[in-house]
Amino acid sequence: MAGMIEYTANGGTAAGYLAGEGNGKGIIVIQEWWGLAPHIKDVTDRFAAAGYVALAPDLWDGKLTKAPDEAQRLFMALNVDDVGKKIRGAVGALRAHGAHGQLGVIGFCMGGALALYAASKLPDDIGACATFYGAHPHVKPDFAALRAPILGVYGAADGSVTPAVAHAIEKKIVAAGGRCETHIYPAPAGHAFFNDARPEAYHAASAKDAWHRTLAFFGANL
């Protein structure tokens, strides 16, 4: 099964792309600032092919853009409480579609910050968290509340989420008693190097290795 579903989110409804119903272990996939783009749906399909039931919540409620200015506007207008409800609802939706036990969460760019946030707010539900070059000025994970191990994935040529930022995040997690593995791919890997729908950013060798690293991480912790 793969396609859009509606699910309950804190008394309201939300939508998301579901793939791999009934596969057992579950993954929440959190979008970049562009919206629920085909690339994120493809990543969700790839998790399903790897044996997971995966759900990518539509955080922008159907809005989708390729324009950086519009994406930036949506990014800065992010309502963290609303997004938190959609992610919390995604936990229940995954359980209703065959996921059991603790879930994984992964996010990219803005979604990477939200993946950390989700892991800190839902420690009973999230068993492993992967953040790919995650950042958002309004998203403040509670590192002291983290129980899940964290995989941080970054590019050395990233001018926004720099290696220094990556190491600072790891330091905060470890200082709060958490577990974090940080992997920084060498240049030319930069921001969004995993996104094969953006040829100007994509770095195939790093993306391939990062995918295998992520599967191994979730396989070992879920």
In this prediction, residue 24 carries a pLDDT of 84
Considering the entire predicted model, what is its pTM? Answer: 0.97
Residues forming a β-bridge with 4: 17
The 10s digit of each residue's pLDDT in 153-212 is 999 999 999 999 999 999 999 999 999 999 999 999 999 999 999 999 999 999 999 999
Q: Using CA atoms, how far apart are residues 13 and 177, in angstroms rounded to an integer?
A: 35
**Structural domain count of the chain:** 1
The 10s digit of each residue's pLDDT in 114-148 is 999 999 999 999 999 999 999 999 999 999 999 99
Residue 23 has pLDDT above 70, yes or no: no
Q: What phi, psi does 112 have (nearest 5°)?
A: -65, -40
In this prediction, residue 76 carries a pLDDT of 94
Q: What counts of helices (H) and strands (E) characterise the chain? A: 6, 8
In this prediction, residue 22 carries a pLDDT of 72
The CATH number given to whatever domain includes residue 98 is: 3.40.50.1820
The 10s digit of each residue's pLDDT in 66-115 is 999 999 999 999 999 999 999 999 999 999 999 999 999 999 999 999 99
Angle CA(212)–CA(182)–CA(135) in degrees, nearest 5? 100
In this prediction, residue 21 carries a pLDDT of 75
Contacts 24+ apart (CB under 8 A), 45-50: 45/2, 45/19, 46/211, 47/19, 47/20, 48/2, 48/19, 48/20, 48/23, 49/20, 50/215
In this prediction, residue 4 carries a pLDDT of 97
In this prediction, residue 10 carries a pLDDT of 81
Q: Containing domain of residue 9, as a range?
A: 2-221
DSSP state letter for 159: S
